[in-house]
Each structure stands twice: as C-alpha cells, then as structure tokens.
A and B are shown apart, each in its own frame.
Chain A
Amino acid sequence: MAEETLMEMESVQDLIGSAGLAAKIVPGPNDEYYLTVGEPAFDPLVTTLASRKCVLIGLFCTEGFSPDARFSLLYVFEKKNIVLILVRNSDGTATSVARIFPSASWFERECRDGFGIRFDGAFDERRLFLHETYPDGFHPLRKDVRNIPVTMRSTIDVVGEYPFRSVSGNGVYQVAVGPVHAGIIEPGHFRFSVIGEKIFNLEIRMFYKHRGIEKLAEGKTPQEVVRIAEAVSGDESVANATACCRAVEAIAQMTVPERAHYLRTILLELERIGSHLGDQGGMLVDVGFPLGASQFAVLREEVFRMNASLTGSRFLRGMVDVGGLSRDIPKRQLDELGEFIRELKNRYRIGLKIVLSTSSVLDRFSPTGVIRRSLLRPLNITGPMARASGGRVDVRINHPYGLYDRYPPTMKTLNDGDVLSRFTVKASEFLDSLDLIERLLADIPEGGVRTIPEIKDGYALSLVESPRGQDLCWVWIRNGTIERYKVRTASFCNWQAIEHAVQGEIVPDFPLINKSLNLSYAGTDL
C-alpha cells in the first residue's frame, strides 16, 4: 500500500510540473492531495493543469481554514485516478479561472453569493443561488452570519432584474417556461430563444428553493450531518450519505466492518436501479408511449417496496451511518432480495425488448439531444450521460471506494451521445447493477455492521458515484463538530450540458431531452 501511495505521489508531482511546488504536496486522508499555492504561482499552475487535461470537479470556499487569510478557496482537480486540491488563500478577491475551466463559472458564482468573494475577469457575474430578492451584501455562508430567516425584498426594480442572454433577430422570439411547471416536478426556469419550432438558444435558471443545507450542517455532529446529507437529493440519498460517512471515517481512520461494506454497496446499487428505472419510464412517457413506460414504472414501484421492506424507507434512508450501518439486514430478507433480483432481471428484459422493438420510439430517441464528447471535460459532465457520449468516467472504477475494487462494475460507453445512447447505457448499467448485487449477496460475510465511531478533527474529500454521476463531498471537522460541509452533486455540473444538448432541436423534443439527462433540481439547489 505504501508503495502504491509513493507511486501515486510521484504521478501527482509530475502533474504539477514545477519541482518547487511539488515538494509541498501533502497527502490527505482519503487518497486526495493538497497543495497550498501562493498568488503569483497560481494562475500559471492552473494553465499547466488545463494543458495536462485535468478536470475541475469542484471549487468551493471556506472560512478560517488557513491562518494566513480569512477565506480559502479549494480547487479540486481530477485526472484519471488522481485528485489534487489546490488551496488558494484569499481576503475576498481572486482571479477567475472560468475562461480556462468553464465548469468554474457556476462554482465561482456560488462562492460569490455564499461568501462575497469577487472573481476578477469572470465572464459571468450574475447571482446564482441567491436570487435578486435577497438583500445586497448578504453572504450566508460567512461565519459571522447567523442561520436565521432573512428579510427578503418584496419587489425588484427593472434594473435589478436578472439579465438573461438576449438573442434577437428576424423571427426570433422568447419562450419562458417555469419555474412553475404543469407536472409534479421541482422549479426551474427555462428561457428559450426559438425560430419557429427550432431552438436557437436555451438558458436555464435554477435555485428557486434554496434550503441552506451547507449552513445548516455547520455546528452539527457528523452523525446529524449524515441525515442532512440524505436529504440533499431524493434518489441519491445513499450516495450522499455514503460520501459524507466516508469522509468522516477517513478523517478518524475508522475501520468499517466488512459486512457493512457489503450492505452499503448493495444499497448503493439498489438506489441506482430504482433511479434508472424511473428515468427510463419517464423517457417513454415523454415520447407518448405509456405502454412501454408502464413496464418500467411497475418495476420501479416494486423496487421501492423492496427498499421499504429492507430498510423501512422507500428511499433507503436512515441506514448508512458513520462507522457502518445503523442496523443489520437479516439473512431472510437478503434471501428475499436475491429472489426479487432474479425475477426483476427477467421482467426487465421483457420490458426492454418491447421498447427497443418499437420503431416509433427509436425514431424519437435517435439522434435527439446530442451531447458532444468535447463538452465533457470543460463542463465536468459525469455519470451515465457522460458515458453515453464516450466519456470513460465512473467513480466506482476511477477512484474505487468500499468494495468496488474487488467487485468492479463493467463500464459501458457509447459514442453517439443522444437520447438513445443514454437509454441504452442506463439499461446496461441497470443489468450490471443487478449482477453486482447478486455477486455481493452470494459473498456477504457474517458479523457486525457498525464500529463505535470515534470522531477526530480534520478534513477529507470523498467521491461517490450516484445514479446521476460523480457526487463530491468535503467535510471539515473542528472540535468534534462540522465546521464546513460542502456537497456538489453530479447534477450541479450536468445541468449546464442541457443548454448545449437542445441547440438546433425542436421545442417539442425538449421534455424528452431533459428527461434523458435526469437532472436533480434538489441536488443542485442545496
């Protein structure tokens, strides 16, 4: 293990390129590397990282992290299996990296709203999660702001309105959709500029239901924060709880019992199959093929009922806990699960056959809503939607956690990047997850499922593959309580791909494209 770490360390040093900086790299507790970089060296280093094809997977701010400055900005870069965090101290201003890493744009806007950091040279300085109704100068994530309700502005003058990109020209008109939609879905605003039925430009605006999750977590015990993490996004409950627990466990160097690892992995995969089923059903509803949709909707409901009988929660909540699991699942129920999975596999294949043999469905699915491969790295697009565009990204394979190094999933990638590819990738991931659960059930050892947690101070980054892609979580514990909990779900980055996927498509195809991307509003709006 030590040898591996050394080798990895060397490759991180290679990545940096500069010997002086490379010497200062510090390994973190969860296979990540930290490097504090001073101001003159920062911008050239970012350019170097960009030229070496690193992806900016996270950028967040924290207060009081370094004695040298009030704020510290943490830039998380990923290249294959390496995760490098650049720590940049700041007293309220920093240079923008959004022109080099476009994924930084939303991150920087998030830091500006939360902490009031000014990014010089940013191409987009509009508000992000704090809409115009919040008062000026209100930066809730600063330590001196108490977590109490804030007086909102009741009216906004025209000058203060959020400026959407305006597209003008002969025959171009705007269609505003949302934030209140006709179905039972969460709020989001879509501003289309269209010519006839053809979409010329789309701009999205999210963050209509900000819950203040990061602020809420501060001062809580790690165990309490796991419950908060579960509430980040419905069908990423296990993923976000696991990410949070893994960070806390890594900080304290806790050993999680073997059986708990097995059960956690089973829960993670159960969550994935439930999400993929709902998603595939939804895509068929949106092309007006309810016969196919019902095949998946029925199975999804049965998966949820299975979840409820295993854990007492349809969304598998309340199980994952610091140190393992909050309770064991008895053997009898695991046997039932095995039986269920076998039956599910057959019934799913029947449903899949119906859909893939209906030419009118295939005609709608392909070639609709193409996401080009060249977008993946700049926007940090992950999950099934990246794999459908040829991206070989999967946290379970690139940064195996828990049991995934012993039970690696099969990565299925396609190159078309359209709705059909996403549907097909999800179908094969679904079947692969079922296989994985069967293998885990066959090998699951007896034993306890929880070690008594021993909380230590420190910080760690953790990555987990949720059904939607890479979920990132950074936990900093000080005096036994959470000082900063940062979570960035896959949807936060993936949402931005939709603006590119719909260009040149027609308006009636938008709901289908949107559904095929399966983006979470809640996971974006913390």
Chain B
Amino acid sequence: MSLSFIIYLVINTLVVLAIAPLFVSIIKKVKAWTQGRQGPSLFQTYFNLAKLVKKETIYSAHSSWIMRITPLVSIAAILVAALFVPLVFVPEPVGGIGNIILLLYLLALAKFFMALAGLDAGSSFGGMGSSREMSISAIIEPTTIIVFAALAFVFKTLNVFTMFSASVASGTTSTPTLILLAISLFIILIVETSRIPVDNPETHLELTMIHEGMILEQSGPNLALMELSSAVKLTLLMALLINLIVPFGLSTTLTLGALVLAIVLFALKGTILAGIIGLFESSMAKMRFFRLPSLFAMAFFFSTLIIIIEVFA
C-alpha cells in the first residue's frame, strides 16, 4: 500500500466528517427558505452533535448488546464505505481494493444493525420503523444493484477508483447516459437517506416514521453517532453522484494547491446538490407508503436503459 493511498484514507475521512453536517444544514436551510422561514444556522447540525456528545446515554431495560454496539458498527461501516468514494482526491487503485459490490453491502450492514437496534428496545415505534425500513430495502435492493451494474457497464469496471479515474480523464461517457445515471443515483440517494417522498426526516409523528423510528430509543453520544453516520451516508452518496457526473476539480495528484481547490469545489458542488435536494423535497408531499415501489421502478427503468445503451451502442 503506497503512502499516497494512506494519505488519501486520512484526507477522505477527515473531509467527509467535517463537511457532512454542513450538507444536512444546507438542505434544512433551503427547505426553510421555501417556506418563508429563516431556518436554523448552517452550523446547527454541528451544535446538535456537540450537545448530544455531552449528554448521558440511556439504555432501555429491555435492550441487549445490539443496542450498545449498533452506533459503533453503523459509523464504522459507513466511514469505511465513505473511503470508497473519493471526495477530493482520486488515488491510484491498490490491488483489489474498491469493489463496488462491497460498498453496497457495507451500507447494507449498517442498515441491518440499525434495524436490529430498532427492534431491540422493544418499543412499538422502533419495530414499526425497522419493519418498514426492511420492506423498503427489500424492494430497493434490486434497483440499487441494477444502478450499480449500470455504473459498471458505463465505466467498464467494478472498481470504484478506476471509475473515478476514468471519469476525471473523461471522454468515456456520453451526455444521455450521464443524465439517466444522474436521475437513477438521485433516486437511490433519496431512498437510502430517508428523505421526502420516502420518509420525512423532520416529522415528530411516531406512527409515520421510518428512519427516525429506528433511532427513537438512541440517546446521548450514541444518538450523535447515528446522526453522524446518516449525515456521512448522505455525503458519500452525494459525492458518488457529483464526482462521477461532474468530476471537474477532482484532484488526481497530491499537491496542497490542488487539494485545497478540490475541497472548495467539492463544497460548492455539494452545496448546489444539497440545494436541489431541498427544493425537490419542498416540491412534494410524502408518498403513501405502499406507492413507494413506483418511485423505485423509475430508477430501475433508467438504469436498465443505460445498460441497454451501453451494450448495444
């Protein structure tokens, strides 16, 4: 493993941790603006995390070790997954690291433990959240695989780092496939991060909750870890979309100047995408639970189309 790859690991993790809460805040801010409100400060998510870290953790008397390790498993799996998506700097692929299927199942691992923890405390809302999350996951999984397969077809590789290198070098993708890919990835992003129209991250209504229902019993630093892991997950999926479709500014060499420029450009592109997510969320109501598969079908359809284009073009 080369030195530059180790530096990549450090830089990527630091950047994703630092910027993830900001993107969450930006989405909230844009949503507030559409409603004619001023909205919370852009640093509010950081403040919330800091506050939660200082609080004590309370475990339900009915909970087991699942409840205790879930926040750690979740943040660990998501942070490792984040290493698969270069935010600012694309390293040379190192022997066999970077299989896209592994990325997919690291995300699934975190989700699996979160669902277990939702059931673990024995509250009916946690159970409902877990059951809904698993129903949605079961339906979205084939779609996600097809979308990732489309990526593999477009870039002719299963290795994420090679995809990004190819994307930066560019010329390999045509505009129609890019648009279709962007739409598919956007839908995956919305579903995987539990946003409207799939789930409502701002609701206080336990009966409608999916993601929030599962973490209802979490408290203190554990809750901070869960919140942070969902912010990191959002950022990594955003980065996947941004850096594959608009790789402009992504650095391939390790120089300070290039890195700073890449960080600034990534923050900028991320802000724009967060704004788009905010506007998208504001434009519609949450869908009826059992109508969700029609949304997933759209991503499935577009990705299949990409594969057909790539195979026969």
Residues of A near any B CB (own CB < 8 A): 175-177, 181-183, 197, 284, 286-294, 298, 358, 360-361, 363-364, 506-511
Contacts and interface: CB of A to CB of B under 8 A. Distances in A.
Given A177-B206, A177-B207, A288-B286, 16 more contacts: A177-B124, A197-B132, A288-B203, A289-B285, A290-B31, A292-B285, A294-B37, A360-B197, A363-B285, A363-B291, A364-B286, A364-B287, A506-B289, A508-B289, A511-B205, A511-B208
Contacts of B284: 289, 358, 360-361
Interface residues of B, number: 28
A182 B124 contact: no
B64 interface: no
B34 interface: yes
A293 B282 CA distance: 11
A508 B36 contact: no
A177 B127 CA distance: 13
A509 B288 contact: yes
Residue of A175, A290, A293, A507 contacting most chain B CB atoms (<10 Å):
A290
A182 B204 contact: yes
B128 interface: yes
A358 B285 contact: yes
Interface string B110-133: 000000000000001000100010
12 contacts: A181-B206, A182-B206, A197-B289, A290-B31, A290-B202, A291-B282, A293-B35, A294-B36, A298-B36, A506-B289, A508-B208, A510-B207
Contact of B287 (A183, A286, A292, A363): A363
A360 B287 CA distance: 7
Interface in B271-309: 282-291
Contacts of A364: 285-288
Contacts of A288: 196-197, 200, 203, 208, 285-286
B35 A290 contact: yes
A506 B34 CA distance: 30
Given A175-B124, A294-B35, A294-B37, A361 B208 contact: no
Q: Which 5 A-B pairs have the closest CB atoms?
A: A288-B286, A294-B35, A289-B285, A288-B200, A360-B284
Contact of B286 (A181, A287, A506): A287
B285 A287 contact: yes
A40 B173 CA distance: 91
Q: Which of A182, A197, A510 has the most CB of B within 10 A?
A: A182
Nearest to B199: A288
Contacts of A294: 35-37
Contacts of B283: 291, 358
A183 B208 CA distance: 13
Contacts of B288: 363-364, 506, 508-509
Contact of A182 (B36, B128, B205, B291): B205
Interface in B131-166: 132
Nearest to A176: B124
Contacts of A291: 34-35, 282-283
Nearest to B209: A508
Contacts of B36: 294, 298
Contacts of A298: 36
A294 B287 CA distance: 19
Nearest to A292: B285
Contacts of B286: 287-289, 360, 364
Nearest to A510: B207
Interface string B197-233: 1001011111110000000000000000000000000
Interface string B82-126: 000000000000000000000000000000000000000000100
Interface string B5-43: 000000000000000000000000001001111000000
A2 to B, nearest CB: 56
Interface centre among B37, B207, B285, B290 (most CB of A within 10 A): B285
Contacts of A183: 204-205
B17 to A, nearest CB: 29
A175 B208 CA distance: 13
B103 to A, nearest CB: 29
A364 B34 CA distance: 21
Question: Counting chain B CB atoms within 10 Å of each CB, which of A291, A363, A506, A510 scores highest?
Answer: A291
B89 to A, nearest CB: 38
Contacts of A361: 284-285
Contacts of A181: 206
Contacts of B35: 290-291, 293-294
A360 B206 CA distance: 21
Contacts of A177: 124, 206-207
A176 B37 CA distance: 35
A183 B207 CA distance: 12
Contacts of A507: 128, 207
A360 B285 contact: yes
A27 B200 CA distance: 57
A281 B171 CA distance: 50
B211 to A, nearest CB: 13
Nearest to A194: B128
Given A511-B205, A511-B208, A284 B289 contact: no
A411 B196 CA distance: 37
Interface in B173-209: 196-197, 200, 202-208
Nearest to B34: A291
Nearest to A290: B35
B241 to A, nearest CB: 23
Nearest to A507: B207
Contacts of B197: 288, 360
Contacts of B204: 182-183
A440 to B, nearest CB: 31
B259 to A, nearest CB: 38
Contacts of A509: 288
